[in-house]
């Protein structure tokens, strides 16, 4: 009888494993450069003890002697009161891989965040304090890491940004607190919080010898959390409010996602943030994927058809960090942040063909930093970057899907008669926000996310006779903030259709003017973000600063109207009218204002996407 039970158990495990392999084949998008970013041998990278010592944070850093096949770094991780995602990813491989390239994982790594955060603190003479980092680096802030600490001086778990424990070790509803939440400390063995009680964990613990796991530091085996406790709020939109509805100290709202959602058709229908941002279709509430929640030591746990919440957290944001530092890749921790920043990923370092030519002296030898002087080391680094770039390509496709699923362009419409030679051509496009949950665009930081229309008219000879939505030599739209416009070398785009929200500031001279931060440069000798002297509810905005919203509410539309002078329509024949909606996270002029590097500017433009591009033809007689 006992033998039969064991045979049945192994048959179930074999069936589960086989089914999971089929699932992996179906979801092949998660295979990265021939293998997962999780080390399937359950060994941590070698030679970076300091990284793991910093992770401990709340215990005396130490490195236990190894033995018995247990990696000594693992012993340190097991003791930490703020466990790293590197531990969670050993059993939750699919979730880890999705999270690794998410904006949550990027929150702390983002170089633009660091540049912006430093600029804002300078403009407030330091009075902003931990306002920004308590969302982007919550665990690091909670354990007392200085606000101004660079990435290479922070613990690993702080570098992980919105990591596993940031959500799954929280059991209170904080609501609108501008990111001031509390993560419950506890080792890897403590329970996590979720919408369910994780019956699969009980199964694993009951068969601990079979799964080779441990539930306390005294036991041999792979460490796991001791069950899950139900916290229903984690599956509700209210859980997201703490960081996605934020007002800066003067009363200007930098995050308005929650307010838009609360006033949306999606809210009235009962659609949650999770339904659109963690479902199977990016940006649409069309159900969830399925799959096993965990694989423990190579063995599938629980129901293989369980509801799967995608931890990529679909959205319009994108990374511009060094691809060796992001996405989060456990293998990349072999080198420090500073060392990665010296690896020139834009050059073919580490590519086998190029390395062969280098050895044969067919190409000029670069001046490699000492850490990258060996071919083997460069090739290993390039392999990691190759894994990360596949993840980034998946992220780019998800981002494009979110934007296209949430918008529509119709037209052109010729409302004042058909085109004729020598006569002004009037036409319009209709831009519709088909998303039920947010404005177009939505997002954070008030005046930064950009969406605009680029429209081009070409004549029968292929000559461009009209364009709106063009960019200057820096990559910015040619509105009042264009640096090249200020230089006088490009004309203002008078017909620009731009959905970017603007800050309006009242200054010592003249009327209100647009600014990319709510700072009154002409009033104070020392420009700063000054808190209001009276409640902002009196005027509904702080004194001398307000926001001009240009975004389109859910299910609403706006027309982009254009006029082409008849002097430009001189030739009979077939004309082409092309349109595309362009999306970028940051304007270049703002990046220059906060001191971004040229590589950051280049990366922000490389990630720009074109939404719904198409061309129509019409005849002019």
pLDDT attached to residue 71: 46
Q: Within a 13 Å sphere around the CA of 616, how many CA atoms are in the beta-carbon half?
A: 14
pLDDT attached to residue 546: 79
Say if CB 466 and CB 568 are below 8 A apart.
Answer: yes
Structure tokens at 13: 């495990």
From-to residues of CATH 2.60.40.2360 in the chain:
406-501+549-620
Structure tokens at 313: 């957290």
pTM: 0.85
3-state helix, strand, coil in the chain (%, to 5): 35, 15, 50
Structure tokens at 450: 């950009």
Structure tokens at 316: 């319009």
Cα end-to-end span (Å), the chain? 90
| All residues at 6 or more sequence positions from 177 whose CB lies less than 8 Å from its CB, including other chains | 242
pLDDT attached to residue 239: 93
Q: In the chain, which stretches have pLDDT less than 50?
A: 1-34, 38-72, 74, 78
pLDDT attached to residue 525: 58
pLDDT attached to residue 124: 76
User: Is-cis flag, bond preceding 412, omega within 30?
Assistant: yes
CA angle 512, 516, 518 (to 5 degrees): 60
Query: Using CB atoms within 10 A of its CB, is residue 209 exposed (0-12), middle (13-18) or buried (19+)?
Result: exposed
Pick the closest to residue 530 from 512, 517, 547 (CA basis).
Answer: 517
Class in CATH terms, 406-501+549-620:
mainly beta
Can you name the residues that pair with 394 across neighbouring β-strands? Answer: none
Could you read off the pLDDT of 524-534 as tens digits, one per residue?
556 566 666 77
| All residues at 6 or more sequence positions from 367 whose CB lies less than 8 Å from its CB, including other chains | none
Distance CA 326, CA 324 (A): 6
| All residues at 6 or more sequence positions from 148 whose CB lies less than 8 Å from its CB, including other chains | 118, 121
| All residues at 6 or more sequence positions from 8 whose CB lies less than 8 Å from its CB, including other chains | none
């Amino acid at each position: 009888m006992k033998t039969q039970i064991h045979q049945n158990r192994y048959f179930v495990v074999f069936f589960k494993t086989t089914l999971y392999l089929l699932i992996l084949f179906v979801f092949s998008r998660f295979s990265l450069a021939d293998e997962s970013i999780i080390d399937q041998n359950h060994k941590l990278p070698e030679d970076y003890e300091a990284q793991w010592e910093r992770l401990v944070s709340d215990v005396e850093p130490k490195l236990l002697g190894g033995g018995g096949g247990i990696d000594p770094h693992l012993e340190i991780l097991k003791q930490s009161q703020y466990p790293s995602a590197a531990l969670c990813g050993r059993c939750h491989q699919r979730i880890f891989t999705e999270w690794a390239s998410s904006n949550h994982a990027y929150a702390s790594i983002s170089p633009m965040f660091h540049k912006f955060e430093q600029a804002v603190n300078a403009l407030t003479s330091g009075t902003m304090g931990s306002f920004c980092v308590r969302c982007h680096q919550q665990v690091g802030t909670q354990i007392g890491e200085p606000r101004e600490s660079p990435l290479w001086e922070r613990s690993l778990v702080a570098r992980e940004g919105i990591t596993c424990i940031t959500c799954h070790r929280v059991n209170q509803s904080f609501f609108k607190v501008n990111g001031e939440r509390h993560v419950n400390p506890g080792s890897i063995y403590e329970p996590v919080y979720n919408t369910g009680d994780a019956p699969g964990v009980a199964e694993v613990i009951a068969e601990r010898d079979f799964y080779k796991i441990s539930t306390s530091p005294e036991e041999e085996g792979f460490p796991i959390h001791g069950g899950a406790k139900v916290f229903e709020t984690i599956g509700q939109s209210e859980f997201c409010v703490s960081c996605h509805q934020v007002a800066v100290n003067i009363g200007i709202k930098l995050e308005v996602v929650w307010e838009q959602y609360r006033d949306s058709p999606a809210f009235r229908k009962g659609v949650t943030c999770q339904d659109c941002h963690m479902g199977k279709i990016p940006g649409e509430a069309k159900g969830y994927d399925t799959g096993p929640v965990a694989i423990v030591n190579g063995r599938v746990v629980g129901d293989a058809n369980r509801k799967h919440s995608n931890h990529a957290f679909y959205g319009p944001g994108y990374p511009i960090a060094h691809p060796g530092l992001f996405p989060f890749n456990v293998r990349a921790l072999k080198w420090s942040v500073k060392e990665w920043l010296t690896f020139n990923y834009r050059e073919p370092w580490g590519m086998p063909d190029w390395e062969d030519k280098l050895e044969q002296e067919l190409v000029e030898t670069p001046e490699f930093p000492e850490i990258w002087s060996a071919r083997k080391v460069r090739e290993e680094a390039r392999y990691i970057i190759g894994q990360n770039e596949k993840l980034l390509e998946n992220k780019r496709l998800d981002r494009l899907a979110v934007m296209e699923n949430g918008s529509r362009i119709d037209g052109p419409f010729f409302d004042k008669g058909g085109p004729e030679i020598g006569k002004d051509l009037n036409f319009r496009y209709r831009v519709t926000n088909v998303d039920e949950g947010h404005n177009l665009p939505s997002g954070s930081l008030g005046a930064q996310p950009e969406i605009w229309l680029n429209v081009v008219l070409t004549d029968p000879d292929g000559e461009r006779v009209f364009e709106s939505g063009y960019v200057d030599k820096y990559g910015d739209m040619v509105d009042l903030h264009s640096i090249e416009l200020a230089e006088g070398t490009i004309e203002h785009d008078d017909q620009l259709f731009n959905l970017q929200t603007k800050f309006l500031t009242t200054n010592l001279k003249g009327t209100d003017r647009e600014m990319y931060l709510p700072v009154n440069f002409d009033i104070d000798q020392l420009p700063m973000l000054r808190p209001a002297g009276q409640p902002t509810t009196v005027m509904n905005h702080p004194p001398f600063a307000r926001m001009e919203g240009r975004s389109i509410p859910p299910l609403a539309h706006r027309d982009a109207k254009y006029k082409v002078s008849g002097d430009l329509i001189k030739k009979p024949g077939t004309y082409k009218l092309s349109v595309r909606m362009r999306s970028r996270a940051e304007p270049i002029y703002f990046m220059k204002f906060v001191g971004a590097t040229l590589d950051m500017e280049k990366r922000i433009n490389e990630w720009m996407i074109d939404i719904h591009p198409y061309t129509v033809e019409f005849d002019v007689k």
